[in-house]
Amino acid sequence: MAASNPDRLIVGTRGSLLARAQTDRVVEAIRAANVGLEVRVEIIRTTGDRKSHQPLPEVGGKGLFTLELEQALHDGAIDLAVHSAKDLPTDLADGLTVLAVPAREDVRDALISRDNVKLDDLPRGATIGTSSLRRQAQLLMRRSDLRFTTLRGNIDTRIVKVRRGDCDATLLAMAGLNRAGLTEAVTEPLEIDMMLPAPGQGALALEGRRDDERVRALLVRLHDTQAAAALTCERRLIASLDAGCLAPIGALARCTDDTLHVEALVAMPNGTRFVRAAATGPVDDAVVIGEGLAERLRAQGADAIIAACRPNA
């Protein structure tokens, strides 16, 4: 259903602090690129928001933060949905597509500890609050003594929980902290050689109706081709691995001029077993590179790790 008013754009987003902050940035950029365009933001509550106190693996990951936004696009209630790219399923709803990918933010994870203690200085047996198996697995690969407890909620809520002593530390994405203006809470950013980010971390995906050329044209000046190529590669990689949300997977693709480099990790949640590989190729071959790296990981045993992470394995 196409928008009825060509001079207006309705942008859908979740209502969290981070979602609003990153959507506000997108809206500002759209207005700057399209002077005179009326842009309105519509807040939509998703399943992930309603079940914010349950561990993510229990809730079920696919479409957790996107289903209601995609339905609003189908219904014509909104023209554009702003997603954190790492929340967007690799299989989009029929008739929808990613129309633009803005320039990517800092891809790293950041440690936030109660007493501003760095990772290697946390006391033995310290408790980390996180619902991310990817973060848990990679932390255990470095510090097997650490303990874990589920910590969900908006990023500002999770920071408060750490400060009041619910756990000794947590990990959050630097990109979200930057966008929400919460970087003063960071104890230390974790470099990617020890903490590969989630596929799509730091990137935004602007989703709309596939045949909506009007909206696509409004976003041309926001689109970053290198960020889009990197995101395409990472999404093709995880789609090819078909791991769902149960196996810890880290992946990062980066572009240097016309060359794309990607590295990825598949691990057991307890960090005792993992495979890691990398690939390089032309930026235009992002899909092929992602698929090829998935095969390389499979050759090292990724399928067995993924199978072991499934329920009743």
Q: Which residues carry out catalysis?
A: 87
Q: Within 10 A of 293 (CB to CB), how many other CB atoms are there?
A: 26
H-type alpha helices, the chain: 17-33, 47-50, 56-59, 67-75, 133-142, 155-163, 174-180, 213-218, 225-241, 286-299, 302-309
Nearest CA among 226, 235, 247, 248 for reference residue 293: 235
DSSP string, 163-218: HTTSSSEEEEEHHHHHHHT-GGG-SEEEPTTT-PPPTTTT-EEEEEETT-HHHHHH
3-state secondary structure of 93: coil
**DSSP classification of residue 122:** S
Q: Which residues have C-beta within 8 Å of that of residue 276, sequence separation ≥ 6?
A: 263, 264, 265, 266
How many Å apart are CA 283 and CA 52, to the nearest integer? Answer: 37
